Chains A and B, each alone.
Chain A
């Protein structure tokens, strides 16, 4: 039974009322008087030199106020990724806002600011660009061949990054194997499909300082990157934290083209400038990178791993952007370290092609890894007749083990076995039929996948920011205001921070309010990404609340003539611990603190002491203590129509070691939403491009299919295991990426169980199923 009052309950989300009554505070609804509108001209060619740009006709169009080309922007390259410094050594600096060299279809080549969107669009038509087309390459392995079109001078064979990891003796390991399994597993390019488009409004003052509102996942990252792109000091850029944004999922984790373009146009015109992506532009702005995994694993007869060789080829498109980090996470946390194998080699390749640039997306390389490894694990168990649940437990970590990636850290809490057992029991796994044995044309199957190692934030990752801060201020009415730069992208950061502060202060959840914040006034916070907000921002918010409480006790000690160390705060009252008669409402203490130094009363002047005076504020800025690993297993029941190849998901059971369950309904919501994305990834989503022109073929929701309420399974059950992580705020670890990492592998394995044939390439379309069945 939990001693916590707020954490663990389904408090009403503080932002829900605003959102159901219209949602005024989305960045897309932000405007400033006199605002101009920007539109971007994009290259129709995948690889070309710009020989000339003539913007004179566009500039003359009535209503046009400014035009930009590559000549107007800095050519100092940086990495646009928010969570690292602009010139982080572990990333690739190959990004500029506009260039005279085009490397993907859709790359911005010019921009216009005009009084209306329509005029800006019309002006684009008047810009004359002369291109010299160059040969292009769209396949990563082809791009690695000698003689392939070179995208970047300094990347031999178009390889932007080539990290490797090794342990033990691979040759000896394979020699010791009783069986060796080999396979190639391919995943596709998909889009996050956040519903609010990328949008920003940038304003400038007469001293060249920028203020900006943008739909993005990292206030301080935008500040840093925008300042760098414009060549101005960071302190000259103020990023307003939006009250909330309409989805991100990792797709708004890097500076877009619109922010610096809008800022430059604002500086040029002296007016605020707004830029909004069309959905078509959003589809070509960010993607989960496709990865091809060559996986070779040796096992003993009893299923113990003896050796593993992994080669991963990631197509990063025109710029390395996130691809240079995704490959690392895919390697370390997606394939190499989750499983225990003494003899392993991993080779990763981030490869330039003339495809669109990639971004972040929930899971960040691990879904691609999980699909490969868990598909093959399934193959191994099927071939050798091994119990698939025991096989997983045998080959992965145990609670108390040293953390496989972070030296000096332990897996303090780790309940993978419990996840597997509970999930298996709930779905009835022991009753599942042998693969392919179902009769009839509609075949049922059950499968599962687990992922044994993930993150709660970025402690231990080179070059990645990982600290958070908050300021908590108590008001005279007993409410608390929280200043934090942590962005709520929809997964409930506002609710979580509210719960943390309320719990720490012993006040009601609706007495806590997250207030206005920007990069001028709030302490640094890393982005809302990497499953870090609860573990990291929650830790800082708790510490800030604790500091405010300490200050409250200092003031109370003077008023109550007690020792501050003996005071506690319960139900809005300050009292000496164990002595309820001493209780004084906290509002009284705060009133005294905020009232005039000497108050005139009917009894005459009443002085207060210096010790009691001053706003009750607490601030904290800190890194969290560790990077504890959640873990999870997902069990899926499917029905495959073997005449059409269509797959229906009937039932999902997801079991997750969460540390501490903060908000049951909200956590379920993450699992349910994560499954929508994972199922779309598994069965239908595919960003497709013409292989000659590079033009996007699926740039709207008519052609890019994501699951609607009709395609979703009618039953999704979540089992949360509270292992109470000692390093996490109130015992928390993390949740929201793991539930998107496992679905595709689970579905693929369920399909195998249904029909007895395997598809190793996503998405598993009806067509691929019929091909696998030999019917096409």
Chain B
């Protein structure tokens, strides 16, 4: 039995019918067609599904949609403003941190929270900040470089 909820995604409120058991990733991808948030394991192990809820990085595959009333969700679709990339997005391009790119959206949002909370993190803090995100292509090196670049560009 579906339930109608209002969910705020990237400062836009969507009215959507959800199953009570729906996770946020299901709502994003299958009910709202917002495809930047990606499924890698559906069990909180890879971080590809990371979004921000009230500025905090969470696994959207582990978040019930019905727990999100009144919260503000940020996905990668919401990082660009007026056609301009968020500094983190630009830094990922400039540091060559994107290979297959499947982990990229999740890691950028984890980095977004990191830099919001700690504008000048050191190397260990950066690695800790992305420790909940797996990448199989890059070895994380250029991703760490990108986050340093983004921090320096502010």
Say whether, besides A29-B35, A674-B139, A676-B140, A708 and B93 are in contact (CB < 8 Å).
Answer: no
Complex CA–CA separation, A279 to B48 (angstroms) = 12
Given A22-B77, A712-B140: A701 touches B100 (CB 8 Å cut-off):
no
State the CA gap A197–B39 with chains docked (Å): 8
Query: Please, how many residues of chain A have a CB less than 8 angstroms from a CB on the other chain?
Result: 53
Kindly name the residue among B40, B42, B45, B144 whose own CB sees the greatest number of chain A CB atoms within 10 A. B40
Is B134 positioned at the interface, with any CB of A under 8 Å from its CB? yes
State the CA gap A677–B135 with chains docked (Å).
10
Residues of A189-214 whose CB lies within 8 A of B: 192-197
Determine the chain A residues whose CB is within 8 A of the CB of B39 once the complex forms: 28, 197
- A192 vs B100: C-alpha distance in the bound complex, in angstroms? 14
Closest to A22 in B: B36
Question: For window 33-66 of chain B, which residues contact chain A by CB distance below 8 Å?
Answer: 35-36, 38-43, 45-46, 48
Chain B 95-120 interface mask (CB, 8 Å, partner A; 1/0)? 11011111111001000000000000
Q: Which residues does chain A contribute within 8 Å of B143, judged by CB atoms?
A: 709
- The one of B35, B45, B100, B141 that contacts A716, using a Cβ cutoff of 8 Å: B141
Residues of A within 8 A of B45 (CB): 279, 700-702
Indicate whether B136 reaches chain A with its CB closer than 8 angstroms.
Answer: yes
In-complex Cβ contact of A491 among B40, B96, B99 (8 A): B99
Is B128's CB within 8 Å of the partner chain A? yes
Q: A672: which of B36, B80, B141 is its contact (CB, 8 Å)?
A: B141
Contact B100 A668 (CB under 8 A): no
A94 CB within 8 Å of chain B? no
Docked-complex contact B35 and A194, CB < 8 angstroms:
no
Q: Are B36 and A195 in contact (CB under 8 A)?
A: no
Q: Are A669 and B96 interface neighbours, CB within 8 A? A: yes
Give CA–CA (A192, B104) in the complex, Å: 18
Interface size in chain B (residues, C-beta < 8 A): 50
Check if A557 is an interface residue, CB within 8 A of chain B: no
The verdict on A710 contacting chain B, using a C-beta distance below 8 Å, is yes
Q: Name the one of B98, B132, B141 contacting A13, with C-beta atoms under 8 angstroms.
A: B98
Q: Does B142 contact A (CB under 8 A)?
A: yes
A306 an interface residue at 8 Å Cβ cutoff?
Answer: no
Q: Mark A3-25, 1 if CB is under 8 A from B, else 0.
A: 00000001011011101111110
- When chains A and B are docked, how far (Å) is the Cα of A283 from the Cα of B46? 14
Beta-carbon contact of B98 and A16 below 8 Å: yes
- A278 on the interface (CB 8 Å rule)? yes
Q: From B99, which residue of chain A is reached at the shortest CB distance?
A: A490
Residues in chain B within 8 A of chain A (CB atoms): 35-36, 38-43, 45-46, 48, 76-77, 79-80, 85, 89, 92-96, 98-105, 108, 123, 126-128, 130-144
A-B residue pairs in contact (CB < 8 Å), sample of 17: A13-B93, A20-B93, A23-B101, A24-B35, A195-B103, A195-B136, A247-B136, A279-B41, A668-B141, A669-B139, A672-B140, A676-B139, A701-B45, A706-B134, A709-B131, A710-B131, A714-B123
Given contacts A13-B93, A193-B134, A278-B42, 20 further A-B contacts (CB under 8 A): A16-B98, A20-B89, A20-B101, A23-B36, A193-B136, A196-B40, A244-B101, A489-B100, A490-B137, A669-B141, A671-B139, A672-B140, A673-B136, A673-B138, A676-B140, A700-B41, A706-B134, A706-B136, A709-B143, A712-B139
Query: 10 closest Cβ contacts across the A-B interface?
Result: A490-B100, A701-B45, A672-B139, A246-B102, A19-B101, A22-B36, A665-B96, A195-B102, A279-B41, A709-B140
